């Protein structure tokens, strides 16, 4: 049986005092499910110190496809590993849309993460225009195949992010999420974990996580509200 995973993506939010309070609450409140927090680069040291010796995993939000070199402002996989990161997001929709990351660049970052001993969380998903055009499967397949053509998927996690359901007021139904997860599972196999990342909240988490191919969540805004994130993690616990 696949182990559930709930990963909180703080995006470009946080501060030393607020982070400490949030991490303290997560450590005290999350149990019975694997959990990771994706913190901004400046707070990796704080995360490492607070999470040391706890079951909560430290994660980063992106990495460079390069191992080292004259790439001002970039951070390598080896640097993240040295700070104790276990996971790193790769190909998040905001990186693709705002910073122009291509499928090929995402595939290179995925390979760089694995080479550094990190477990990449590969994000795939379609926009509203692509969904309305009936292109959901074609888009997520293209994004995934770019990675599979270059790398295996061992020690990696897949996250389905319907871009049209993030911060728009439109939510994917559990059935819509399950349909895409089942499509993706046919390509990555029964052992791979596939997370859902479309505006998961305490109210919709139980039904989403009840779907057979949904193995947890990639949580955005709710990951910065301790009681919400803890409730989502509780919903991810497998019953029976």
List of domains in the chain: 5-221 (3.20.20.70)
Quick one: pLDDT at residue 164? 87
- % of the chain residues with pLDDT over 70: 98
- Residues belonging to the active site: 92, 161
Question: Of the candidates 15, 27, 45, which has an alpha carbon nearest to the alpha carbon of residue 36?
Answer: 27
Quick one: pLDDT at residue 169? 67
Quick one: pLDDT at residue 46? 98
The predicted-structure confidence for 112-125, as pLDDT tens digits, reads as follows 999 999 999 999 99
Quick one: pLDDT at residue 240? 41
Segments in the chain below pLDDT 50: 240
Per the CB < 8 A criterion, the answer to whether 76 and 86 are in contact is no
CA-CA distance, 200 to 184, in Å (whole number)? 19
CA-CA distance, 233 to 138, in Å (whole number)? 31
Quick one: pLDDT at residue 75? 98
Quick one: pLDDT at residue 47? 98
Tokens of 179: 């349909």
Which residues sit opposite 216 in a β-bridge?
A: 5
């Amino acid at each position: 049986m696949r182990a559930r995973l709930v990963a909180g993506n703080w995006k470009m939010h946080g501060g030393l005092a607020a982070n400490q309070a949030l991490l303290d609450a997560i450590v005290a409140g999350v149990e019975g499910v694997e959990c990771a927090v994706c913190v901004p680069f400046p707070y990796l040291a704080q995360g490492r110190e607070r999470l040391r010796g706890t079951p909560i995993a430290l994660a980063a939000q992106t990495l460079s496809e390069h191992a080292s070199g004259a790439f001002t402002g970039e951070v390598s996989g080896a640097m993240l590993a040295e700070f104790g990161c276990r996971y790193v997001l790769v190909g998040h929709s905001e990186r693709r849309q705002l910073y122009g990351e291509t499928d090929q660049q995402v595939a290179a970052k995925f390979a760089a993460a694995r080479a550094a001993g990190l477990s990449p969380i590969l994000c795939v998903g379609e926009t509203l225009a692509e969904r309305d055009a009936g292109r959901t499967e074609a888009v997520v397949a293209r994004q995934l195949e770019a990675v599979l053509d270059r790398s295996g998927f061992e020690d990696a996690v897949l996250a389905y992010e319907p871009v049209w359901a993030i911060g728009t007021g439109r939510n994917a139904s559990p059935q819509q999420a399950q349909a895409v997860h089942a499509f993706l599972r046919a390509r990555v196999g029964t052992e791979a974990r596939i997370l859902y990342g479309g505006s998961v909240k305490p109210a919709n988490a139980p039904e989403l996580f009840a779907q057979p191919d949904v193995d947890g969540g990639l949580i955005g805004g709710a990951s910065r509200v301790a009681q919400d994130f803890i409730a989502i993690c509780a919903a991810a616990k497998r019953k029976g």
